Each structure stands twice: as C-alpha cells, then as structure tokens.
Amino acid sequence: MGINTNISDYDWNAAFAALAWQVELGVTEVMSEAAVDRYALPEKQATLTPKPKTVEDQVQPAAPDPVNAAQAAAAPCADLTALRAALESFAHCELKKGARNLVFSAGNPGAPLMVVGEAPGREEDREGLPFVGHSGLLLDKMLAAIGHARDADDPRASAYLTNVLPWRPPGDRDPTEAEIAMMRPFLLRHIVLAKPQVIIAMGNVACQALLGQSGILRMRGQWGECAAIPVMPMTHPAYLLRNLGAKREAWADLLAVQAKLANPS
C-alpha cells in the first residue's frame, strides 16, 4: 500500500500523528519512482529496483589543482598581452567573481624598476589599475624621490607596477595562502616577461609570493632574490600612511634601491 500525502500545512506534531495513522493503516511506501498496480497478481507486479550506477556515476572526476592550472596557463604566454588574456580567462580563482575589474599593471613594462604590491583595494578595483588613491599618491612621491615614475617618458626613469593578486579580495581582507600560491605562477611569468633589473616587494603578501617569507618589519631593508633579480622588501605605502615614523626606514630602503639600479652588479 502506498500513499502520497501533502503535509506542508501540518505542524510537526500533526505531521507525526498523520504518519503514525498511515502506518497503522498498512502504508509501506511514501512514494516511488514508478506506479505500482496493487491489484495485479504478485508474480506480475513490477519489481522496483534501484537503477544501477554506471562507472561515471561512481567515479567522480578529480577537481583540477588550481596551482597546476595556473602554471599551465601562464607558461605558454610569450608576451604581456597573452599573460593578461590568460588571467582574464582563468576560471579557478573565486575572487574574480566578486571583482569589478582585472588589475593587471601600470607604468612602463620596459622599466628597470618593478614594484609588486599585494592586492587591489576598492579604488584599484574600480579603476582597474594598481596603486591608486592615497597609497598610490604616496608611492608616486617615493619613486619620484629616487628619479622614477610610472608615467616617465624616459624608459630608464620609469617604473612598472603590479600586484600579486589581480582581483580584489572581498572587504579588502588579506589574501589567503592558497590564493597567493594560485597566482604566483602568473606573477613569476610576469617578471620574466617584464625583465626588470630590480624589484620592490611592497608588504607581506609580496614578500611571501616572491621570497617565500613573511614578516615585513623584520625583512625590510635586506636584499633577497627572485628569478635571479634582486628584491628589496619594503613596508607598504598604506602602512606608512598609518605609521609616519616608518618613513625614515622607507627612505633608507629607497636609497638602497637607487644604488642597486645605478650599479646592478
């Protein structure tokens, strides 16, 4: 015996009582995938057996590893245009879904100085450019103090800016280790294609992606290396805006960058 009863209008107690009443009447099934003729002879009744699962049903394909997918997407890129296109079509980073724009780069890609930041904020996401707003204005002043600018006509005095993450994290939260690892292959390919002489790693996230370490207040001012290119860890301009006393140390780091650019060997 089977019965199909709509209990959407019942409260819990009423539904339980109705179910108990149906069991006393001999109900054995609530619903089935196929109709059953209860008046047919037992030997002629359809046997309800579950549909056998296929191999495809039983074996679920493994999700692709996002880091491997990033490496596969970044490696073939022969120029920055191709790298940007690879990022735009990369489907494994959830940040992309909540961001307005891809923030790829700003400045001269042939510049001897490359600045790597952390991730876009609200203003960067809106404009599609790295280092805008108050932090960007301060960075421009810092670079100008050592004779470089993102919009310089002379390539030797120019600067090239990018971020570890090309999409804004929700609420401007810190990037996760998984997100940094996922975007690192794109960043490393970015560096190979841009060919800077010196890199400034602005903040903890940039240091983690480029040098495999964090702790910017301990690392700043000490040269590291990524892809055979000297890397200077520096505190982020946003930190300097909140801690004015740290500008003295930032100036010392900038002078070290200037000296390295003048004498790369």
| pLDDT tens per residue across span 189-207 | 999 999 999 999 999 999 9
Domain assignments of the chain as residue spans, ordered by start:
12-50, 66-262
Tens of pLDDT, residue by residue over 84-124, are 999 999 999 999 999 999 999 999 999 999 999 999 999 99
What's the pLDDT at 47?
57
CA atoms within 13 A on the CB side of 227: 17
DSSP conformation class of 149: B
pLDDT (0 to 100) of residue 64: 80
Helices (H) then strands (E): counts for the chain: 12, 6
* pLDDT score at 10: 54
The CATH homologous superfamily for domain 66-262 is Uracil-DNA glycosylase-like domain (3.40.470.10)
Low-confidence ranges of the chain (pLDDT < 50): 5, 7
pLDDT of residue 264: 79
Question: How many C-beta atoms lie closer than 10 Å to residue 264's C-beta?
Answer: 10
d(C-alpha 255, C-alpha 247), whole Å:
12
Q: What are the start-end ranges of the H helices in the chain?
A: 12-24, 55-58, 66-74, 80-88, 95-98, 122-127, 133-145, 177-194, 204-211, 216-219, 237-242, 247-262
Both tokens of 122, joined, read 């609200």
Q: How far apart are CA 90 and CA 98, in angstroms?
A: 14
To the question of pTM greater than 0.75 for the whole model, the response is yes
